Amino acid sequence: MSRLTIQFFSLIVLGAALLSARSVSAAEAGDVVQVTNVGVPLYVHNFDTGKNTSVGDKLSISEFLGAHYFITDRIRVGMMVQLTEQFSGDLAKGSDRWTTFALLPQVGWHFYRRFFVAGVFTYAPRSGGKDQLDLGVQAVFGGSLPITDCASFGYALEVPYNFHVARTIGITPLVGLSYRL
């Protein structure tokens, strides 16, 4: 197992331990939460070509900015904007390093204290470093650690599946901050 993987799972274990030691309320119905995350696609498999790509082949960093509205204390709807830039690795012909711009509407369920799962639809008018539309869905599993009454440190693992340009699946760990407005 790689060092990055061990560190990521250690963070999850630490988060679980802290959550069991400190009971802080999560969002309530009617709350709006602003979220800012960063992620690194660690692995992508292309079903059409059979090719696997890891962070060693191509280093990209994704930024996510958005907001969520809590319908109940456990159910939220939200919209995120994704911007991804490729920092290393070969670029496809005619593409550039600004690889992705996507809108990510989503529904989330906070099933235990501050842990959640979310279903996300991907609408990416820019993908692969080109102005080409890609569509997809994502499953996200994560949690948060309270920093203050209104701010939290978040961590998650997303599994994106895109299907319009090429059928791909990946694994992307995320970290970020969220603020209750």
Report pLDDT for 5: 59
Can you list the domains of the chain with their CATH numbers? 3-180 (2.40.160.20)
> What pTM value is reported for the model?
0.84
Q: In sequence order, what DSSP letters do the residues of 44-79 get, joined into one string?
A: EEETTT--EEETTT-EEEEEEEEEEEESSSSEEEEE
How is residue 24 written in tokens? 């802080």
Could you read off the pLDDT of 83-99 as tens digits, one per residue?
999 999 988 888 999 99
Average pLDDT, the chain: 89
State the pLDDT confidence band at 53, using cuts at 50, 70 and 90: very high
* pLDDT score of 92: 83
Residue 89 region by backbone torsions, left for phi larger than 0, else alpha for psi between -120 and 50, else beta: left
User: What's the pLDDT at 65?
Assistant: 98
